A = this chain, B = another copy of it.
Amino acid sequence: MANGNPLHQGGGTLTIAEVSERTGLSADTLRYYEKAGLIERVGRSAGNQRRYAAADLEWLAFLMRLRETGMSIADMQHFAQLRGAGGATVADRLAMLREHRSSLEDRIRCLRRNAKALDDKINHYELLLTREQGTEAG
């Protein structure tokens, strides 16, 4: 009955190492996020070791999206705190997300502009290189 597969022991929870592997976040970072209040206190085994549930993983995935799109830890703390405070904060959370979404759009636009300029620079260098090789040959 007892399943040796760590993925399914103890009601489908994961150890910190397993979460680390799945998310790419280090165990230290996972503890740090919890200490910082980005994650509510994760459930523990009898021996006080973390056991992450599916909901924890979903929340982590969301946090990672916010991080990857440039939200600061401080803002994520704020968001997590609102979330912890219950349904009355939905409007505030929505406002935060909308603002973040909008600044993300700005950022993507800026990157696209810069990508185009980079392409021009690359073309310039390709031309230089062609000429150089031509010189070498002639």
Contact = CB atoms under 8 A, between A and B. Distances in A.
Centre residue among A62, A119, A121 by max chain B CB count within 10 A: A121
B115 A69 contact: yes
Given A122-B94, A125-B94, A114 B69 contact: yes
A85 to B, nearest CB: 14
A119 B69 CA distance: 13
Interface string A112-125: 10110111011001
A110 interface: yes
Given A65-B114, A69-B114, A119 B101 contact: yes
A97 B110 CA distance: 18
A40 interface: no
